């Protein structure tokens, strides 16, 4: 369970602080689709994703859940509101069976004030998460193909060229139907941009996908 202590931002801490954090940690397991925490709840824990991945879902004005980001072991941290004490900005839902490390809020909040290098690494995580969420909001009003391509490129950041996702999961992340996701991904496959396999999607040409996304929105920066 202690492997997570060697990753960002925890590797910025001195050994005694990491050891204390390890003693405060607990392991939690969630089946797919189970809610880990809910939007608007006061933060009790910071979560570290060790296995599987988690969707961050925000309610829109029409009470529809919008996936604004996802958290994998590559990203690591989930529930960043734990650092500032404000309510969780999103809900977190296990997109796959997931294993997370649970860290109590008091154990992590003091680290931000005591260790500047740790605080700087946390700010970087906040910035990256904000960028992903802003992009998700922008794409929420884009044509469905653009939303699906954007999802595929976001998944590539964490998983590389082979994405361990089904088209049903892509549909959920893009806010569309499974039938539409199948139709769009079949078209992308025919254009030699990706390969479809059982339980995964392999990107053949991520540069081509990015170009396709920009072509759909000429105002989008290169």
What are 159's two structure tokens? 């998983």
Looking at residue 136, what is its pLDDT? 73
- pLDDT beyond 80 at 56: yes
Cα torsion 58, 61, 62, 63 to 10°: value is: 40
- The confidence score (pLDDT) of residue 84 equals 85
pLDDT of residue 222: 43
Reported confidence tier of residue 2, pLDDT bands at 50, 70, 90: low
Q: What is the mean pLDDT of residues 95-111?
A: 92
CATH 1.10.10.10 for the 142-216 domain, yes or no: yes
* pLDDT tens sequence across 21-37: 999 999 999 999 999 99
Residue 182 and residue 22: Cα distance in Å, rounded? Answer: 43
Cβ atoms 136, 65 nearer than 8 A: no
Q: What is the mean pLDDT of residues 64-76?
A: 81
Mean pLDDT within 52-70: 79
Q: For domain 2-138, say whether CATH 2.60.120.10 is its number.
A: yes
Q: Which residue has the higher pLDDT, 179 or 132?
A: 179
**pLDDT, tens only, 106-149:** 989 889 989 999 999 999 988 888 887 777 777 777 889 998 99
Helix axis angle, 144-159 to 116-139, nearest 10°: 160
The pLDDT confidence band at residue 59, using thresholds 50, 70 and 90, is: confident
The pTM of this model reads 0.77
Residue spans of the domains in the chain: they are: 2-138, 142-216
- C-alpha dihedral, 166 to 172 to 174 to 177, nearest 10°: 90
pLDDT tops 70 at residue 188? yes
**Over residues 82-88, mean pLDDT:** 89
């Amino acid at each position: 369970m202690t492997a997570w202590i060697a990753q960002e931002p925890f590797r910025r801490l001195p050994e005694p602080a990491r050891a204390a954090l390890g003693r405060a940690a607990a392991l939690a397991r969630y089946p797919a689709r189970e809610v880990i925490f809910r939007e608007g709840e006061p933060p009790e824990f910071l979560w570290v994703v060790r296995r599987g991945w988690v969707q961050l879902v925000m309610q829109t004005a029409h009470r529809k859940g919008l996936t604004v980001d996802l958290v994998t072991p590559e990203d690591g941290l989930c529930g960043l509101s734990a650092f500032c004490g404000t309510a969780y900005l999103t809900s977190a839902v296990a997109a796959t069976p997931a294993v997370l490390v649970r860290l109590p809020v008091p154990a992590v909040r003091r680290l931000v004030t005591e260790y500047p290098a740790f605080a700087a690494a946390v700010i970087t995580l906040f910035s990256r998460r904000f960028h992903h969420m802003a992009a998700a909001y922008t794409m929420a009003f884009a044509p469905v193909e653009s939303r699906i391509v954007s999802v595929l490129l976001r998944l590539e950041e964490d998983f590389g060229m082979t994405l361990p996702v089904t088209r049903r999961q892509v549909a959920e992340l893009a806010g569309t139907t499974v039938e539409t996701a199948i139709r769009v991904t079949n078209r992308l496959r025919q254009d030699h941009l990706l390969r479809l396999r059982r339980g995964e999607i392999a990107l053949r040409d991520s540069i081509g996908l990015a170009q396709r996304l920009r072509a759909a929105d000429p105002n989008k920066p290169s």
